Amino acid sequence: MERQEFLSKLGIGLVAVCTGCSLVSCGGKSSNPGPSTGGNTPPPAKGTGNLFNVDLSSQLPNIGDSTTQDGVILVRIADGNTAAAFTAVQVACTHQGNSIGYNAGQGIFICPAHGSEFSKTGAVVQGPAALPLQKYTVTISGSTLTVSA
Ligand code: FES
C-alpha cells in the first residue's frame, strides 16, 4: 500500500513538472529565430546600375554626415566634393543584419548590436562579423553624387 501511494504521488509530481515544462519552456511558438549564423550572414544581393543620387549643394556638407538609402549608407569622410571624400557600404551588418553606423571620431563603421567594426572600405576590423560589408561605387558630376553598384 505504501509503495502504491508513493508511485501515485510520484505520478502527480511528474504531471506537475511536465505541465510546468509545457507552459514555460517546451510548448508554443518560440521567439528564437533559430540557430545563429555565427557571423556569416552573406551580403544582400548586389543591385546593378545607379542606386541613388545626392545633391552636394545641399546635402552632406560636413565630415561624418551620412544618408541611408536602398540599403546603402553613404558617408562623407573628408572635405571636398571628390569621390574619395565619400564612402558607401551596405548598411546591414554581415553578422546578423542590424544597421551599422559611422563613428566619425574613430573613422570606422560600428554595429551597435554586438560591436562589430568595419573600416571605411567595409573590411572587418573586429568581429563577431566575419564577412566584409559590400562596398559601392561613388561618382560625382558637378554637384550630383551618384552611388552605384
Ligand atoms: S548584427 Fe551582430 S555585430 Fe552586427
**What are 79-117's pLDDT values in tens digits?**
999 999 999 999 999 999 999 999 999 999 999 999 999
Mean predicted confidence (pLDDT) in 113-135: 97
Say if ligand 1 is within 6 A of residue 122 CB: no
Say if ligand 1 is within 6 A of residue 98 CB: yes
Whether residue 50 is predicted with pLDDT greater than 80 in this model: the reply is yes
4 lies in a domain? Answer: no
Q: How far is CA 78 from the centre of its chain?
A: 25
Number of domain units in the chain? 1
pTM, whole model, 2 decimals? 0.71
CB-based contact 133:100 (threshold 8 Å): yes
Structural domain that includes position 86: 50-148
Q: Which grid cell is 84?
A: 574619395
pLDDT at position 52: 93
CATH of the domain at 122: 2.102.10.10
Q: Work out the pLDDT band at 13, boundaries 50, 70, 90.
A: very low
Atom of ligand 1 nearest to the CA of 93: 4
Q: How far is the CA of 68 from the centre of ligand 1 (A)?
A: 18
pLDDT at position 49: 86
78 lies in a domain? Answer: yes
Whether residue 34 is predicted with pLDDT greater than 60 in this model: the reply is no
Question: Of 145, 130, 149, nearest to 61 (Cα)?
Answer: 145
37 lies in a domain? Answer: no
> Grid coordinates 551596405 are at which residue?
90
pLDDT at position 113: 96
